[in-house]
Structure 1
Amino acid sequence: MLFYERKIMGSKENTKELYKITPSQQAIASCCGAIVTSLLVTPFDVVKIRLQAQSNSFANGKCFVYSSGLMDHVYVCEDQNSKPLNKKAGHFRGMLDAFVKIIKIEGIKSLWSGLPPTLIMAVPSTVIYFTSYDQLSEVLISKLGKDNDHIPVLAGSISRLGSLTVVSPLELIRTKMQSRQLSYKQLRIFINNTMAKDGWRSLWRGWGPTALRDVPFSAMYWYHYELMKKRLCKTLDAREPTFMISFTSGAAAGSIAATVTLPFDVVKTHKQTEIWEDETLNLSQKRSTSAWTVMKKIVAEHGFTGLFAGIVPRLIKVAPACAIMISTYEYGKSFFRKLNKQKNIQSY
């Protein structure tokens, strides 16, 4: 018993190691966070994408459809195959106007349109992302030391790059399934034909614009989150981050990262819209423009402010999304850490 008490009363590092949560527990915590976040912030994501995309032209007789969750996903379909969208809201003058028109014309359910298929995308991506971040952080801490400020930047960038690389082919498949009714056999034929025609790299179309926006966002987000979390814990004399510390740090870090990377977000939405339009509508003339070309086009047509289209709904969406996700994730990890502590106590 004396040996066990010494073990429990040891250094903070030894205690934390003793009750260390497993990768599977990290995955469960991030999964719960992804679901809660998607349910709460999807309406803001819907409005943000609609405000950004309304300036982009589409083929006659076609409509723009959004599918939102933790990440942005867009695709196109024909009006005749999508009855609820025949009563699509028109031009929006701002965030509040968009909310009112969507609810009045399309119904309140439209604010959560595309949520089920997006959860299929968001949950695995978030699980990979957050679990990889924690695992990479532990490895980098053992190599570089726990006080190295580059660890959140490196871990955040690598984990985000890995998660979006894994999920990109799934997004192409999801897009095809939503654009029309396909059996699994037809879907397999589509994938085989796509790879035979354009090669296996075609499954990762749109990867570039997504990485251009998400990787810098992740680097800045994790850097500021870890920094603010440490400062708040020190100020409040807290050994572990509480729910409110994680919530506040996540909201602040998300707002900073969202503001800086907004131009990349606008470019990504325009690029992805063109890609999905080409894929699902089988347009004869494929568009292949670089992100820099798209950015110059936006500035030429809408001015420099065009790169910051939808900044208000983006901030209103991103700040609570980051806050809810990270605080739920940290709460989940804290729950499993306490659970592991009880199991260790019972084992003696």
Structure 2
Amino acid sequence: MSGQRSAPAARDDIAPLQQMVASCSGAILTSLFVTPLDVVKIRLQAQKNPFPKGKCFVYCNGLMDHICVCVNGNTKAWYKAPGHFSGTLDAFVNIVRHEGIKSLWSGLPPTLVMAVPATVIYFTCYDQLCAALRVRMGTYADEAPLLAGPTARLGAATVISPLELIRTKLQSQKQSYRELTACIRSAVANKGWLSLWRGLGPTLLRDVPFSAIYWYSYEKGKKWLCERHNAREPTFTIAFISGAVSGSIASIVTLPFDVVKTRRQVELGELQAKNLSCKVSSSTFSLMRRIVTQEGFSRLLAGFFPRLIKVAPACAIMISTYEFGKAFFRKHNQEKTVSLLQTTNT
């Protein structure tokens, strides 16, 4: 993506397939960097408050959140491994020393299957929508990210939501695919197709505003840095800084929604795991009022620092890798075009 309004044509040099490859690379790299942070966090949580059977917790690989269910007391599961850690650094050192460095990525495979496709859909749709909106919005082209970001996030989350429900059931009940298919058909027959998207609402209430704030802040910050450094295209450093700052701003503003979303998602995950009907009837804002009344306003800001130190680097790594990939393909396409012209002229 160009840092200047005067070069929108450069966007057209990137084919959707090339955008998908660039975002896929960014998603994989982000997961590799951020997954160890969440694995250590969950190990520390399990050490202080052991997860009982059927209990859900939220796992994030830097790209999206996933509900995980404790199936039984099997201590070999990555989220139930024994340990006596005094802190985060001690956990890193002892996990590597006693279990091997691969253990830091032991939570990656179950979620990467969905995280990468979701990210590819999200980033590719954003770029395509933003380019189209900039053309149509004319003098208001700078506000295009405010529409493109939420719309792309809405589409990606909607596509992935049924897969998250299916994954939760598979993980919690160890069903065969035949049994799972029968379960899904029964749910659809009794409650309709919308039952496959149960729990989507709380996720969208956080992710849609996050996307609007993130992309608008990112585009503004990137443009300002490009102009300040006389760069026609954003460098890796410019994209990294812009991504980190915009991710921090978005994570801080949407933190109360993240707290509510996590509580409701865990509750819904446990109901799904036990095949119980949904009993979460209160709206998101009703739950927010209840949290403030019963636990105080500070509970809506719970997890501020852990969320910030995870979201900021994840956003920075993802967007800078994505921009680097697009720059690579843009240069490749230009060289290919020049080569074809030279061949034609000769």
Q: Which residue of 1 aligns with 2:219?
A: 226
Secondary structure of residue in 2 paired with 1:274: helix
Q: Which residue of 1 aligns with 2:251?
A: 258
* 1:163-185 deviation per Cα after TM superposition (whole angstroms, max 9, x unaligned): 10111011111111222322221
1:237 and 2:227 equivalent?
Answer: no
The code of the aligned residue for 1:308 comes to L
State the distance in 2 between where 1:268 and 1:245 align: 32
**Structure 2 unaligned runs (5+)?**
342-346
Which of 165, 171, 174 aligns to 2:164? It is 171
Shift of 1:248: 0.5
State the distance in 2 between where 1:171 and 1:89 align: 29
The code of the aligned residue for 2:56 comes to F
Aligned length: 332
State the distance in 1 between where 2:271 and 2:196 align: 14
State the distance in 1 between where 2:323 and 2:217 align: 16
Residues 103 and 111 in structure 1, CA contact (< 8 A), matched pair in contact too? no
1:16 and 2:16 equivalent?
Answer: no
From the superposition, tell whether residues 161 and 42 of structure 1 become closer, same or farther in structure 2 (CA, over 3 Å). Answer: same
Q: Which residue of 1 aligns with 2:60?
A: 68
The code of the aligned residue for 1:97 comes to G
Q: Which residue of 1 aligns with 2:344?
A: none
State the distance in 2 between where 1:263 and 1:86 align: 28
Which of 73, 87, 95 aligns to 1:97? It is 87
Q: With structure 1 as the length reference, what TM-score do the two structures score? A: 0.85
Q: Which residue of 2 aligns with 1:189?
A: 182
Secondary structure of residue in 1 paired with 2:55: strand
Q: Which residue of 2 aligns with 1:302?
A: 295
Shift of 1:131: 0.4
Residues 48 and 314 in structure 1, CA contact (< 8 A), matched pair in contact too? no
State the distance in 2 between where 1:205 and 1:193 align: 15
1:271 and 2:261 equivalent?
Answer: no
Which of 205, 209, 213 aligns to 2:206? It is 213
Percent identity over the alignment is 56
Residues 58 and 266 in structure 2, CA contact (< 8 A), matched pair in contact too? no
1:162 and 2:152 equivalent?
Answer: no
Residues 46 and 80 in structure 2, CA contact (< 8 A), matched pair in contact too? no
* 1:34-77 deviation per Cα after TM superposition (whole angstroms, max 9, x unaligned): 0100111123345677899999998x644334432211112323
Which of 191, 196, 206 aligns to 1:203? It is 196
State the distance in 2 between where 1:338 and 1:169 align: 38
Shift of 1:288: 2.9
Q: Which residue of 1 aligns with 2:21?
A: 28
CA RMSD in angstroms comes to 3.1
* 1:98-145 deviation per Cα after TM superposition (whole angstroms, max 9, x unaligned): 564687689676654531121111111111110011100111111112
State the distance in 1 between where 2:27 and 2:119 align: 6
From the superposition, tell whether residues 204 and 48 of structure 1 become closer, same or farther in structure 2 (CA, over 3 Å). Answer: farther
The code of the aligned residue for 1:287 comes to V
State the distance in 2 between where 1:16 and 1:303 align: 50
The code of the aligned residue for 1:335 comes to F
State the distance in 2 between where 1:101 and 1:234 align: 43
State the distance in 1 between where 2:70 and 2:199 align: 18
Residues 232 and 245 in structure 1, CA contact (< 8 A), matched pair in contact too? yes
State the distance in 2 between where 1:56 and 1:205 align: 28
Residues 48 and 310 in structure 1, CA contact (< 8 A), matched pair in contact too? no
The code of the aligned residue for 1:257 comes to A
